[in-house]
Every structure is written in C-alpha cells, then in structure tokens.
Structure 1
Amino acid sequence: MTEQPLRVIEICAGAGGQALGLEQAGFEHELAVELDQNAVNTLRHNRPQWKVVQGDVADLSVWDPADYAPGPGRFPIDLLAGGVPCPPFTIAGKQLGATDERDLFAWAVEQARTMKPRALLLENVRGLSMPRFAGYRQHVLDRLQELGYAAEWRLLQASHFGVAQLRPRFVLVAMEPADFAYFHWPEPAGEAPTVGETLLPLMSINGWRGAEEWAEKANDIAPTIVGGSKKHGGADLGPTRAKRAWADLGVDALGIANHAPNPDDEFLVGPKLTCEMVARLQGWDDNEFKWIFTGKKTSNYRQIGNAFPPPVAKAIGIAIRAALNRTTDRREHDLDTAHDPIYRALRDNGDFMTAAQIIRATKLALEPHELERRIALLSRDFYINICNGKAATAYKLGQFKAFLGQEDHVRHEQFNQHRTKIS
C-alpha cells in the first residue's frame, strides 16, 4: 500500500531549501510563510500550486495558526516546520537570544499549543547548542513536554548527507510520545564530494582551461557559506577566517561572479563563485533538487546562502515520516537530558535559592564565581530576582524574556523599527 503524503506548514520558509527537501521526503505544503519578498517570489516561481504568504509570521493578519488547528472535519497538520531567524544565536553575532527582536524560536514552539501538529521540526545555527543558551534550550524542552510532546536536539553536519560544505545545523524534532518512540535520527549517508568534484562541471562550462587543475586543488569540502543579511553590504563568502579557507581551495571569496571563467582567464587566488555554484554547494542540483532563484544577484546569493540544504531536510523529513507512519523499529529515548541543571533547580523550586541550595539541588561542583557566571548567562534570557540577604544572596527564576505571542511584548516595536533590515 502506498503511503499518503503528509501535510506540512512551513514558517520562515526562506527560498525553499527545507521546503524542497521535505517535499522530496513525502510532505505536501499546506502553507508556506516568509517575510522576504524576494524569497517569496522564488517559492511562487518554483511551486505556483503552493499557498505562499508574505509577511511577519507572527502577525495574525498574515496567517492565523488557529485556522490550522484540528476541529470538526479537520485533521491535525502532520508537521509544523521552519528555519526561524538565526542572528539571535549566531556565534558571530551578539547572541542576544530571547531579547533579539528577530527571535522566533520560542514563539514557534508555542504554536504547537494552538495547532497541535503531529510533529515539529525547527532548525537553527550551531550557536544555539552552546552553553550560552542552555537555559533557553531547557525551557523549550520543558515547554514541549507540558504541551504533550517528546523532543530532542541534535547537531547535524550537512557534509554527512552529501553536501560539499561544512554546515552544522542544530535541529529540534518533537512528536507525541507514542510516535516519537519510532523516531530515529538520520544516519550519515557517506563521504561528501569535494568542492572541486562538485563544481568542476560549472567551472568548465565556458571552456576554462584551468578548470581541471583548479578542481584538483579544491580537494576538500567548503567552509560554511554565510548568506548575510540586509544589515550588511553585498554578497561575499564570509568573514576573514572563512575567506582564508576559501583561498586554500583556490576560491576568491571577495564577492560573487556573474559567470563562470572564460577559456584563458587567469587568477591570483582563484575564480569567484557564481550564485549557481553556491547553490550547488548548498545541495541544489539539476536533478532531484532542481530549483530556480528569482531576483538580482545579491538577493539570489542571500536566498541561497541562508538556506537549509535540501538533502539534509530530506533526510530529516524521511525520518519524521517513518516515525509518524511507524514503519521503523521502536526505540527508547533518553528524554530527561538536563541542558541546564541550574535553570531546572530554580524552576522546580519556584522560590528563592541560595548558592549552597542550588549546588545541593544540582549536585554540581561549582565555585561561587562559576555559579554567578552561569546565573548571569541565564539572566540574559530570563528575569532573575536577586535577594541580598544578611547571610547569603538568593536567586529566584522569573519570566522568560522571549516573545511568545504577547501583544504588549517589546518585540513588536523593535521589529517594526528594524523591519526593512530584517531578513
């Protein structure tokens, strides 16, 4: 019996990297929501049959998650997916987390309460996996448990799924416990091709005589491609360290070329990449993952560079589909991972705790200054009430600072103020 396609709603869909991968994994898009008009144009060009809406995903006038909640004659959406903005968590940024107006991760989790999808897939940058965001991650897991979901985080490398690029992505998958028991993270698919192997057909398309020699030098996978944002200038391949890595591969990272090299072209460092070449390094191709990007070069590059590689999305999508259809073996998941024991101790206690009480509750061997540092990190995403008593300082966990959909949240003013620069 043929499995029926599963329905997905994708938020912060970008130009379609995750969308295409999920489609290849057997999901049909009920809706795709994206802020950037250029990316929306690309989605509509490639899939005119999809319902694609443009605007702030948290604006109820753009779309209302309640419209997709289960009810009389309406089955639940199978998957709520999205690549919510990464600047709040990126290592190269300020890591403002919950106080960044672009942060939509916690908001996306809250939509599970309204929509009750069978599964949730959210991905972001590696920075979210760092100690800085341990409390944030713990809150997400605890909140999903309150909503009736089992969930896990996993750091996945794009190069493990045939993508010629070092592109770590931190992925959250959640499902109802009965389905999650059948979820297995996708296994690596083998060694990734090198930059040279991947790009030789495109580098030689205009007859460049140096293509073969160049491909032999480009004998490793690429560093992470950085799409950038509207806040920064034109397209190039990343910060200084990345540019050095590109130079070692024979690639000039100071910009994007309009076309492949001509027959007699010579280069001091090497040729620049075209948008088509960057797309190939992100996992798009001329066969399974064929896609056309609309708009001008800089916009194309940002759409491509900020995308989730389609082969990785496909691999995760297949794993989610298999769990929802229960076509895999059942397994036990360790779902009680403590990302931040200090957060948990303060949350479970619900009252003021001294440093000594926190250390006893967590069984952590921490010096006072280290405990203070950990609480200071926690205070960046949560309000921490501090009581300076005669005997010892005590701490109490306050509200989460993140935008969860509150009408009076500071996020609205900040978002509207910076809207033209958010991408």
Structure 2
Amino acid sequence: MGVSLSGFESLAVVEWDKWACDTIRENQKRGYPLLQNWPLWEGDVRNFDWSSIADGIDLLAGGPPCQPFSMGGKHKAYGDKRDMFPSTVELVSKLKPKSFIIENVKGLTRSSFANYYQYILLQLEFPEVNRRQHETWLDHLRRLQREKTSGVLHRRALTYNVVPTLVNAADYGVPQKRERVFIVGFRSDMGIEWSFPRPTHSYDALLYSQWVTGEYWEKHRVPKSKRPEVPEKLEKRIKKLSRTLLHIEDSAWRTVRDALMDVPDPRKRAAKEFHNHNFQDGAKIYKGHTGSLLDLPAKTLKAGNHGVPGGENMMVMDDGNVRYFSVRESARLQTFPDGYVFHGSWTETMRQLGNAVPVALARCVSASVAERLAEAGIHKLSHSKGRKVA
C-alpha cells in the first residue's frame, strides 16, 4: 500500500498467506480504490512465473519472512527453512530492477548474525555471483569478500549500491516504537546517490509538548488535575529542554492517545461505525506483560493475539486497567486507513497486522526512492536529447 501511494503501479503482488490474500480480495470486492488493480497471486514466491515480468522494472519491494531473525523466534537464521533471502537475491538477479526495498526485523543486525547479515548485503550488491554447488554460505561469503576487495566484481554487468538502515517507525510519524531494518539498493548503472529519509518526529519534541508547553495535554483536553506527574527519570532531560528554550523543528512522536483520539471504546455503541472494531476480552497484566501506555507510541505490534510476550497487543487505559487493542485500533497503530477491512479471525487479523510494514513508513521510503528514479530518468532524457532540463 505504501509503494502504491508513492505512485508505483504493481505488476505482481505475490503473497503466500491465505488470510492476507483474502483480505486483499475482500477489499477489491468492496471497491477499495488503492488496490483495485493489484494483480494478486496467492502462493510461494518461488513458484511464481517471473518470466511474465519484464527485466528492468523500477522497483522490487518485499519483506522476506522475519521469523529466522526475530528476537522472539528460534534464531536459526540461515539454518531456518523459512529464510527467503536466497530467493530474494535470485529475484534481484532475474528481474534486474532499477531499485529494491527490503524490510526485516531488527534481530537481523544482532551480533550473532553479523556474518550472515554481511553475506546478505554482499549478495544483494553482486546478485550474479551465485553460490556454487557444494559451496557453504561461509565459503561463498569469503569468495564475495575476496572478489569485492580485488575490484573484479565492480566490472560485472549487474551490481547494486546497497544502503542498509536501522529505523524506528516512531521517528517517521508512526504511533508505534517499531525498529526495523530497511535494505535499499539502486542499480549501479543508474548513477543514483541516495540516503535514507531524515526523521520527521522525535521523542524530545513529544517531551517538550507534554512537560514544557503542556500543548499535548491541552490538545487532548486532559485537565491539569488528571495529568500525570513528570516521570522522575526524565526530570533532568525535561529541565534541559526547558532551560535551553530549544526550538525543536521535528514534530512530536505520535502516541497511542494521538492515534486513537477519535476512535470510541470498542465496548460502546458508537464503535459499530468502525470496521473491525470489536472488543476482545481477557487482557491481563503480569510480570513482563504490561501493555502500551497511552501517552507514548505503542510497543511493537507482534504477529499474535493473547500470547505475545510483552503485552504488546494491550493498551493501559487512564484508570490503569488494560484491554486488548481492537483490530481497528491495531490498524491505526500500523497507519492503515480506516476504509481498509481485515478478513479472518482475531488471531489471523492480528497476525496480518503484526507482520505488516506501517503504511506511512513504507510510503516515506518508497516516495524517496521514486523521487530519485524520476530524477535519474529526467537526467537521462535530457542527455539523450542533447539539452539540459531545469
């Protein structure tokens, strides 16, 4: 959805999960415009007929399954049959896109995966240097390293300039502290210079609006008598912000309260006006399972319902009690539009949301890529016609 909002037209949308596909088909039947013309194919990406897609497409975007690298998973990485990075590299080699955007979990960057992470980046940089029969991935890594330092690989036909970045979605206006790795690449022959978009939102700006100006509480009509005390651990930081009278250019991090300010409690009658906004009973607090506070971005939504380890799918209400986020509230935290309806049971819809890339963040990254591709296209056109374009 993010890349569609950035102006890209999808030639293939490949998804193996039945429920995610059902959600797309349901919205297409309802006439939801953004994905009306998506050519959806349900199944394993390795079985799709990629010969139907011409070489040199503008963008290949996707997220290989994160479970092999997730902090909550089995941490098998290259030993996990769900590791789809080899297939990702194969697709880059086959389609030769002008650019690619790959998203994955922060766990990919942990020290225990350092060599495999480097291996992934080198394969994406030189996708035509295939792993030989009976060659281990470590031997392939060493060969890539040797050939890269020798300069031989840079003379190959297909190479990419690859930029990996660890990103917190909250820094880009998503009401959720969600750290993810984005690996963005541009085909070397494009001559494109690119860096990850600058953050637009900050924690300091939120603290300033809450504890220095009070603007945050006034916006939400929280009377002074009901405003919380300044957290003791933040007193020095807030005093510093207050003393310097710092002009903060960034917008404030968006909080759970910000995201849900116009959404009624799912237990109220007015909740029926919102799709997928049903109350789910059974939320409980226990050690390590505490839920998301109203006045901070939410914890990272995870692909589960009740059993997620940190209570990430619960919210702590003003009175201190907790309840589960409804599907619609979870969608708000992932910046999905209200008109997009989710299909499936509570478990399946929460899995779709936990696995999703926040729409606003995907749009931000893909729009930046689209801008560079457009500039490169204009530059190429101007030179081919022997004149300059302003």
User: What TM-score results when the alignment is normalised by the length of structure 2?
Assistant: 0.63
**Residue 239 (str. 1) matches residue 224 (str. 2):** no
The one of 199, 206, 222 equivalent to 2:260 is 199
2:317 maps to a residue whose letter is G
Structure 2 residue 113 is the aligned partner of structure 1 residue 133: yes
Match of 1:154 in 2: 165
- 1:174 matched to 2:194? The reply is no
Answer whether contact 1:166 1:221 (CA < 8 A) is retained: yes
- Cα deviation, residue 269, structure 1: 1.7
Q: Once the two structures are aligned, what percentage of the paired residues are identical?
A: 31
Q: Which amino acid in the other structure matches residue 271 of structure 1?
A: R
CA deviation string 1:61-92 (max 9, x = no partner): xx12233242xxxxx21111111111000112
Deviations 1:200-250 (A, max 9, x none): 321347379xxxxxxxx711111101113xxxxxx137214647xx56x33
Residue correspondence of structure 1 range 326-337 to structure 2 within 5 A: 326=375
Which structure 1 residue ranges, 5 or more long, are not aligned? 1-19, 71-75, 209-216, 229-234, 252-266, 331-423
Q: 1:377-405 CA deviation, whole Å, 9 max, x = no partner?
A: xxxxxxxxxxxxxxxxxxxxxxxxxxxxx
Distance 1:27 1:180 in 2: 21
Residue 165 (str. 1) matches residue 176 (str. 2): yes
Please give the root-mean-square deviation of Cα atoms over the aligned residues, in Å: 2.5
Q: Which residue in the other structure is 1:56 paired with? A: 44
CA distance in 2, matches of 1:109, 1:180: 21
Whether 2:267 is the aligned partner of 1:222: answer no
1:106-147 Cα shifts (integer Å, max 9, x gaps): 320221111111111111000001112221222222223324
Please say if 1:325 is aligned against 2:371: no
The alpha carbon displacement at 1:23 in A equals 0.7
1:178, CA displacement in angstroms?
4.3
| Count of residues paired in the alignment | 267
Question: Are 2:302 and 2:312, in contact at CA under 8 Å, matched by a contact in 1?
Answer: no
Alignment partner, residue 269 of structure 1? 321
- Kindly indicate whether the alpha-carbon contact (under 8 Å) linking 1:183 and 1:322 is maintained by their aligned counterparts in 2: no
Distance 1:270 1:241 in 2: 10
> Match for residue 297 of structure 1?
346
**Which residue number in structure 1 is paired with residue 7 of structure 2?**
26
Structure 2 CA distance for aligned equivalents of residues 105 and 180 of structure 1: 25
Check conservation: 1:44, 1:50, Cα contact below 8 A.
no
Aligned equivalents of 1:237 and 1:149: distance in 2? 41
2:76 to 96, 104, 107: 96
The one-letter code sitting in structure 1 at the alignment partner of 2:301 is I
**1:261-281 deviation digits (Å, cap 9, x = unpaired):** xxxxxx772333210001101
1:180 shift after superposition: 5.8
- Report the 3-state secondary structure (helix = DSSP H, G, I; strand = E; otherwise coil) of the residue aligned with 1:44: helix
Equivalent in 88, 92, 98 of residue 118 of structure 1? 98
Alignment partner of 1:276: what SS? helix
| CA 319–268 in structure 1, closer or farther in 2 if over 3 Å, else same | closer
**CA contact under 8 A between 1:225 and 1:237: conserved in structure 2?**
no
Distance in 2 separating the partners of 1:189 and 1:321? 19
1:275-305, Cα deviation, whole Å (9 max, x unpaired): 000110111233xxx4221222222121112
Larger mean CA deviation between 147-156 and 311-320 belongs to: 147-156
Alpha-carbon shift at residue 318 of structure 1 (Å): 0.7
Cα 1:141–1:282, aligned 2, differ >3 Å: closer, same or farther?
A: same
C-alpha displacement at 1:327, in angstroms? 6.7
- 8 A contact 2:298–2:312 mirrored in 1: no
1:76-95 matches, cutoff 5 A:
76-95=56-75
Q: Is the 8 A contact 2:190 2:376 kept in 1?
A: no
1:176 CA drift (Å) = 1.2
More helix by percentage: 2
Q: TM-score, normalised by structure 1?
A: 0.59
Show the counterpart of 1:394.
none
**Residues 34 and 40, structure 1, Cα contact 8 Å, conserved in 2:** yes
* C-alpha contact 1:164 1:198 (8 A) present in aligned 2: yes
2:24 matched to 1:43? yes
Which secondary structure does the structure 1 equivalent of 2:367 belong to? helix
Does residue 89 of structure 2 align to residue 105 of structure 1? no
CA contact (8 A) 1:180 1:323 kept: no
